[in-house]
């Protein structure tokens, strides 16, 4: 979550509990998705996650930056 300035990302633990991710400015959070799980032959596991809205008083003050990457197989 490079550039995120607000909390909201939560991941589900093995016990089925939601765990909030508290990223600091110098942290890099990598949310492994289904495609990355397949590309790594299940070495990296896809996470069940959600994003919850911030409290009303913090709405409109957050900045998020989402980066996408693509891997192209050579011919």
pLDDT of residue 2: 55
pLDDT of residue 18: 94
pLDDT of residue 63: 55
Domain spans in the chain, listed from the N-terminal domain onward? 9-54
- For the chain, state the CA radius of gyration: 15
5-35 residue pLDDT tens: 667 888 898 899 999 988 777 777 777 788 8
24-73 residue pLDDT tens: 777 777 777 888 889 999 998 888 888 888 677 655 555 555 555 566 66
pLDDT of residue 68: 58
Would you give the distance in Å from CA 41 to the centre of its chain?
A: 20
Beta carbons within 8 Å of 20's beta carbon, 6+ residues apart: 7, 9, 10
């Amino acid at each position: 979550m490079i550039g995120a300035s607000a909390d909201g990302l939560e991941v589900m633990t093995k016990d089925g509990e939601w765990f909030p991710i508290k990223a600091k400015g110098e942290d890099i959070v990598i949310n492994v998705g289904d495609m990355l799980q397949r590309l790594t032959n299940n070495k990296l596991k896809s996470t069940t996650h959600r994003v919850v809205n911030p409290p009303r008083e913090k709405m409109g003050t957050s900045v998020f930056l989402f980066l996408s990457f693509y891997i192209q197989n050579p011919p």
